[in-house]
Structure formats: structure tokens, C-alpha cells
Amino acid sequence: DGGITQSPKYLFRKEGQNVTLSCEQNLNHDAMYWYRQDPGQGLRLIYYSQIVNDFQKGDIAEGYSVSREKKESFPLTVTSAQKNPTAFYLCASSKQYTGELFFGEGSRLTVL
Amino acid sequence: GENVEQHPSTLSVQEGDSAVIKCTYSDSASNYFPWYKQELGKGPQLIIDIRSNVGEKKDQRIAVTLNKTAKHFSLHITETQPEDSAVYFCAASSYSSASKIIFGSGTRLSIRP
């Protein structure tokens, strides 16, 4: 079945540590996205990539980094510079030049 | 900046009754209005969408209406069922670019048996 796979589903991190969240898709979509979701708030865009080897900052990119070396993969690194990293992180993909997003099941990061 | 306001934040309805969620948007260039349903612990899933060239779209028990002049759009769920309990997000964007999508803050819908 085609879809988006995020891992891990739950992750705990100590303050000062970097952590990388995985996102893989087999939908053959060109574009991929990372969103952050906090309780009672909408989804906020962290980074997006329209094509391999290219990515753009979203609204809340500070403290995060990404790479897009393969069409299928768009990992997100939450660095120690992110001041409030505890959140639910969602990866999504879309066909080029369309508005419909397909989401993964999310990764919940807790900083201890 | 551009934003999407969504109301109410929580909604409880009796099973079988209708539920209505309303959104307003600020960017007059928006022409694509999707609605996503998020079940507990999962990612959002598109349930219906509407483009600016139509005023209403229906898919079985769900419908969306759009008033471009007033910049309002609404989700209507009829004959609600327990499986409709979830968080619903409205959004607005240009159809050609999902990177420009702006989400509302979500509505937690609970269906009472």
C-alpha cells in the first residue's frame, strides 16, 4: 500500500541532544513537508521541499534542519537550538503543483 | 500575516444530529479550501475540499459551503455517528501550492450516544 511512514512514533530526548525524525513516502510525490502540532493550535510549517536536493524554510524553521537527498525521504533533525521541542511532528507529501496533502501518522517528541 | 480562523474549538452533538464548523480566511487570493479529519494519535486525512469556482460540494453525509465575498466556508456533517468524533481542521491555500496552506486551529467534535 502507498503511504507515508514516520518513525519513531514516540521519542524521548534529554535537553541538549539532537534528534532525527524519519519520513519515507512511496507515493512518488515530488513535494514533502514537515509540520509541528501543539495542543489547541493548527499545524505550523517547519520546512518543505518541492524537489530533491532543494528545500525551503517554513514559518517556524529555527532550531530545525532537513535534507532531501532522495525523493522518498525527508528526515527532520530537531537540534538543541530549538527552545521548546516537545510537540507532535507530522510529515506530509503532495503531488507537484497541487494543494492536497497526504500525512503520516506523526512522531511525538518529548524532551525530558 | 494571512490567517484562518476556525470556530468553535470544541463541539458536542447528539448522535444523529448535525454538526457545523465555520472558518474565515484573510487572503483573498486563496482558491482552495480543504478539510482534514484527525483521529486520536494519527495524522490528518483529507475528507472533502472545495475550490473557489463552486459554492457548495457534498459527499454523502458531509458538505462544504463557500462564500467568497464574505471569505467564509463551513463544514456540515449530517446524521452524525460515533466514528465522526475527531479533530477537524479547515485550511485555505492556492490550489497550485500546498506550501502556502494555512490551517485553522481545529475543532474537537464529540458525538454523544
pLDDT at B63 over 80: yes
Asked whether the predicted pLDDT for residue A1 surpasses 70, the reply is no
Verify whether the Cβ–Cβ distance B43 to A31 is below 8 Å: no
Q: Is B98 helix (H, G, I), strand (E, B) or coil?
A: strand
Residue A96 scores a pLDDT above 90: no
Is the pLDDT confidence value at B1 over 70?
Answer: no
DSSP at A70: B
Q: Is the pLDDT of residue A10 over 70?
A: yes
C-alpha cell at B21: 464548523
B interface with A, Cβ–Cβ < 8 A, is 4, 6, 9, 32, 34, 36, 41-46, 49, 89, 93-99, 101-106
Give the dihedral of Cα atoms A73, A74, A78, A84; nearest 10 deg: -130
Q: Hey, are the CB atoms on B44 and A40 less than 8 Å from each other?
A: no
- Verify whether the Cβ–Cβ distance B96 to A97 is below 8 Å: yes
Under 8 Å CB-to-CB from B83, ≥6 apart: which residues? none
**What is the average pLDDT value for chain A, to the nearest integer?**
93
